Homo-oligomer: A and B are copies of this chain.
Amino acid sequence: MSHSHYDEARVRRSFANQPFMATIGAVLTAVAPGEVEIEMPTAHGVRQQHGFVHGGVVGSLADSACGFAALSVAAPDSGVLTTEFKCNFLAPSVGEKLIARGSIIKAGRTLTLTEARIYGVAEGKERLCAHMTATIMTVQGRAGIAD
């Protein structure tokens, strides 16, 4: 994968433009070429009926981690859109916070395959609780789809 387009500021700016990340209290904690890390405290408002973080919230963190991993190395005049993701739930998503780490499996001209691993953190110890693969489409010249 080419890292020649790597632009950390662009990723941070685009993340800040996602109102939903603020709604769930998610913060971008690390950016590198083709890799990002997002954290979120497990507040009451993101939970489901058993007290775990809602699977859709886990999926949201993973989707964002995948999309921004792809965006971190995308051509300057392009935007990214998720075309599909699969998320496998491996353990209850509990702990003080969740960490989602996204990376690129294979970058293509139009479609980039990415993956994310989501960890529940309790007393400083990480436990893998979900795994996602997501296909991110790079679009150019489409009104409203930049970054």
- Residues A56 and B20 in contact in the complex (CB < 8 Å), given A82-B89, A88-B84, A144-B50: yes
Whether A113 pairs with B88 at a CB distance below 8 angstroms is yes
Chain B residue with minimal CB distance to A108?
Answer: B90
Q: How far is the CB of A34 from chain B (nearest CB, A)?
A: 15
Whether B63 pairs with A45 at a CB distance below 8 angstroms is no
Whether B84 pairs with A87 at a CB distance below 8 angstroms is yes
Q: State the CA gap A15–B54 with chains docked (Å).
A: 12
Whether B88 pairs with A51 at a CB distance below 8 angstroms is no
19 extra interface residue pairs, beta carbon distance < 8 Å, beyond A18-B48, A50-B81, A59-B87: A18-B49, A19-B46, A20-B48, A23-B23, A50-B145, A55-B60, A55-B67, A56-B61, A56-B62, A59-B59, A59-B63, A60-B60, A82-B89, A83-B111, A83-B135, A84-B88, A86-B87, A88-B135, A90-B105
29 A–B contacts from the bound complex (CB under 8 Å): A18-B47, A18-B48, A19-B45, A19-B48, A20-B47, A20-B48, A20-B56, A23-B23, A23-B24, A23-B46, A50-B79, A50-B81, A50-B145, A54-B63, A56-B59, A57-B60, A59-B60, A59-B85, A83-B89, A83-B111, A84-B87, A84-B88, A85-B86, A90-B106, A90-B113, A91-B106, A106-B131, A113-B131, A131-B133
